[in-house]
Structure 1
Amino acid sequence: MTAFTYAEVGATLHEPLPAGYRHLHYRTYVGGEDVFDRAAEAILTFGMHRRTGARIRTEAGRAAPGVRLTVGAGPLSVPCEVVWTADEKDRAGFGYGTLPGHQATGEEAFTVERDARGRVWFSVTAFSRPATRLMRLGGPAAVVAQHLYARLCGRALKKLCAESRTVDP
């Protein structure tokens, strides 16, 4: 059994997010309905994460519950495990949770959704709190870094979808 560092496994699937954590909600427009499949694939295969410059080490090429991955950025390298995935007609993505050795404790989800008007939106939803002394000391800087990473993911996804569009027939 996996030893997640928090009790509320899967809580990024619904609102409200658990109390006692910092919450992150980020949403950005990706494009028209023609980009949905490309965006979903980029998220589910960790391509969006890699495009941000993050070092991704994983045992699988696609997100699925139980898949472990390590996300590295700068001097940090954090272990996570996918806790849920969605690969539906109008919604795709995954959520991963923190494992021992992660500087924070909590869960983060990356999803793309197509709304009723055909617009495609990327969202990051997370709840977290510091797990190490260094992270507690980092306080506001850690929060800013998490928000910046969410925005970086959104920009990376938009670029990947735009590039794919130029090569498709």
Structure 2
Amino acid sequence: MALRPSADPAAYRSAPLTYREVGGTASESMPPGYHHVRESRPLGRGVELFDEAARRLLRWEMHRGAGLAVRATSAEAKPDAIVVLGLGPIRIPCRVIDVIDRVDRVDGIDGIDDRTDARRERGFAYGTLPGHPERGEERFVVRFDERTGAVSAHIRAFSTAGNAVVALGGPLNRLVQRVATRRYLDALLPT
């Protein structure tokens, strides 16, 4: 890999992920030995808001709204798509490892009623590729609760420094990650 990572996502098509715990953000108990992030934010109410937030998320608009340049092998997040995010001279290459589009149905509480409630989720997870400043995985999900109409955004991640320079940044790196996470969540708020 070049000293400065490429901005061309095609350059990473055969690159391996830089961590072993692929899919680790799918579980509430993420892999040990990493810094963990769990953040969420209410976005509002209604199925239209859910559909719009999910569309923006899956089409990389959340990343653009957070101030990042986006170059990807596909216009929408899909399995094995490569995205290279950019912040000034910094290149952040990732591979989509999972796309979430699910409905969880829950029958009436204790058989009291016959109603079936559902929680819908859409989103994706990606993992780091060589040249990324960190090693790890991040999952982005928009959730809709059919019973209450509530729409919320959720981010779950685990990471560690990808090189010695980043490792020296310690607490500053965590601050950057917190700011980026907040900006991602802000970018999904209705406009």
2:140 is the counterpart of 1:126: no
Describe the superposition over 1:37-73 as per-residue Cα deviations: whole angstroms up to 9, x where unpaired: 0000000010111111101110100101100010111
Q: Which residue of the partner structure matches residue 165 of structure 1?
A: none
Aligned residue among 26, 35, 45 for 1:22: 35
Query: 5 Å matches for 1:140-159?
Result: 140-158=171-189
Q: Which residue of the partner structure matches residue 96 of structure 1?
A: 126
Q: CA deviation at 1:2?
A: 4.7
Gaps (5+ residues) in structure 2?
1-13, 104-119
Please tell me the residue identity of whatever aligns with 1:36: F
Aligned residue among 128, 132, 136 for 2:167: 136
Matches of 2:88 and 2:152, distance apart in 1: 28
2:139 is the counterpart of 1:109: yes
Bigger Cα Rg: 2
Q: Which residue of the partner structure matches residue 113 of structure 2?
A: none
TM score, norm. by length of structure 2: 0.80
Q: CA deviation at 1:118?
A: 1.4
Gaps (5+ residues) in structure 1?
163-169
Please tell me the residue identity of whatever aligns with 2:133: Q
Q: Which residue of the partner structure matches residue 26 of structure 2?
A: 13
Q: Which residue of the partner structure matches residue 114 of structure 2?
A: none
Query: 5 Å matches for 1:11-50?
Result: 11-33=24-46, 34-50=48-64
Q: State the Cα RMSD in Å.
A: 1.2
SS at match of 1:24: strand
User: Contact between 2:79 and 2:98, CA under 8 Å: does it hold in 1?
Assistant: yes
Please tell me the residue identity of whatever aligns with 2:124: F
Matches of 2:16 and 2:167, distance apart in 1: 22
Q: CA deviation at 1:78?
A: 1.1
The list of structure 1 runs, each at least 4 consecutive aligned residues, that deviate by more than 3 angstroms after superposition, is none
Matches of 1:108 and 1:129, distance apart in 2: 12
TM score, norm. by length of structure 1: 0.90
2:96 is the counterpart of 1:66: no
More helix by share: 1
Matches of 1:51 and 1:132, distance apart in 2: 27
Matches of 1:2 and 1:73, distance apart in 2: 21
% identical aligned pairs: 37
Please tell me the residue identity of whatever aligns with 1:26: E
Q: CA deviation at 1:87?
A: 2.3
